[in-house]
Structure 1
Amino acid sequence: MRVISGSARGRKLKEPDGQNIRPTTDMVKESIFNIIQFDIEGRRVLDLFAGTGQLGIEALSRGAAAVVFVDASNDAVKLVRDNIKVMGFDEKATVAREDALAFLGRGGGFDVIFLDPPYESNLIEKALKRIIEFDILKENGIIICETKEDKPLPEPAVPYIRGREYRYGKIKITLYTKTNRAEA
C-alpha cells in the first residue's frame, strides 16, 4: 500500500497483520480518487470503517483540510494513528475508536464520506440510512461506497441521489451525492 498522489506521493503505509482488515487495493483507490479528484482539496472528509486509514490519508495528501477516521477495532485505530504519524498529518487528522453507526449519530458536516465496511456485513445500508437520517453530508457532498460487485444499494430520498456505479473486477464503487434542495 502506498500513497498515490499529492504531498505524500509514493510513501508506503503500514499494512495490517492477519485478515481482520481488508485494505482497498491501490488500483481501486486510484480509480476512486480519479473520480473525485476535484472534490477533495480544502474539504472535510470522513473515513468511516477506516481500517488502515489509507483513503483518508490519500485525501489528506491531495489537500483535504481535515479527515476524521473512525473504526471500532483497537488494531485498526493503532494502525491508522501510526500511518498518520508516519505521513506527518497529525494536525489535520482526528481518530476515533468508536462504533461507526454511533459516531454518525453525533452529526458532522462532511464534504466527502468514505464507506468501506466489511463486505459480508449489512453495515453499509445502516450507515447510509444514518447519514441521511442525521443529514451529516454537506450540500453537494459525496459519499463513496465500496462493496462487492453484486451488492445492491438503496435508492435514497431527495436531496440525496444515488449516482454512478463503477466496477473493478469483484469490487463495486457507488457514488451518492446531496444536491441543493432547490435543484432536487
Structure 2
Amino acid sequence: MRIISGQFKGRRITAPKKLPVRPTTDMAKEALFNILNNQYYFDSVTVLDLFAGTGNISYEFASRGTEHITCVDQDYGCIKFINQTAASFEMPIQTIKSDVFKYLENSKQQATIIFADPPYDFPVEEFAKIPELVFENNLLETDGLLVVEHSKHTDLSQLKHYAYSKSYGGNTFSFFENDTSDEEE
C-alpha cells in the first residue's frame, strides 16, 4: 500500500503478511479522499478509524495534516504495526486495542469523520450495529460523516442515517450523516 497524497505522498508501507487484514485499495482510497476533500479541511477534523487493520486510512489522513486520529482494532499485531509505522513517520495517531463494538458502546469521544472497515463477510446485522452505536452514543460531530466500507454485494441503504453510497471495483463506501429531521419528529 502507498500513501496517495500529502506530506508522505508516494511512501510505500508494507504490512506483515500474517496480519488479518484486507487494506483498502489505492483506487478506492483515492476516490474516498477526493469526496472527503470537497467537504473538509483535513487539518481541522478529528478522525476515528474503526477496524483499523494496517492503519492505511489513518496514514492518509495524517499525511494530509490531520492531527487527531484514533485507531481502534482488536488485533494486537495490527495495533503494534500501526504504532510502529506512526512512530517512524512521526504521525499523530493514537491506538486503542479493543473490540470495536465495545469501544463504541463505552466511548464519549466525538469525531468529525468516522471510518469503519469491518470484515466484508459480516452479516448485515453486524454492519447495522456500527451506525446504530455511533448515532445512539452521539459519537459523530454535527456536520460529521460516518463512512462504512463493505463489499459491493452488501446493501446498507435501508439503515437509519444512510445518505448515499459510492462503489469502486469490488469496494463500496456507504455514507451516514446526522439527520436533523429525526429531531423534529
Given the two structures, how large is their TM-score scaled by the length of structure 2? Answer: 0.89
C-alpha distance in structure 2 between counterparts of 1:51 and 1:60, whole Å? 16
C-alpha distance in structure 1 between counterparts of 2:19 and 2:53, whole Å? 11
Q: For residue 125 of structure 1, what is the aligned residue in structure 2?
A: 128
- 8 Å CA contact 1:29–1:55 kept in 2: the answer is yes
Give the CA RMSD over aligned residues.
1.9
Equivalent residue runs for 1:78-89 within 5 Å: 78-89=80-91
Q: 1:146 to 1:133 in 2, by over 3 A?
A: same
Percent of matched pairs sharing the same residue: 29
Give SS of 1:173's match.
strand
| Equivalent residue letter for 2:25 | T
The counterpart of 2:64, out of the listed 54, 62, 68, is: 62
Q: 1:52 to 1:19 in 2, by over 3 A?
A: closer
| CA-CA distance at 1:168 after TM superposition | 1.3
1:152 aligns with 2:175: no
- 8 Å CA contact 1:140–1:179 kept in 2: the answer is no
| Equivalent residue letter for 1:155 | L
Q: Give the unaligned 5+ runs of structure 2.
A: none
Given the two structures, how large is their TM-score scaled by the length of structure 1? Answer: 0.89
Q: Give the unaligned 5+ runs of structure 1.
A: none
C-alpha distance in structure 2 between counterparts of 1:36 and 1:174, whole Å? 13
- 8 Å CA contact 1:116–1:124 kept in 2: the answer is no
Give SS of 1:36's match.
helix
The list of structure 1 runs, each at least 4 consecutive aligned residues, that deviate by more than 4 angstroms after superposition, is 179-184
Instruction: Figure out how many residues of one structure are paired with residues of the other and give that number.
Output: 178
- 8 Å CA contact 2:131–2:176 kept in 1: the answer is no
C-alpha distance in structure 2 between counterparts of 1:71 and 1:134, whole Å? 19
Equivalent residue runs for 1:15-26 within 5 Å: 15-18=15-18, 20-26=20-26
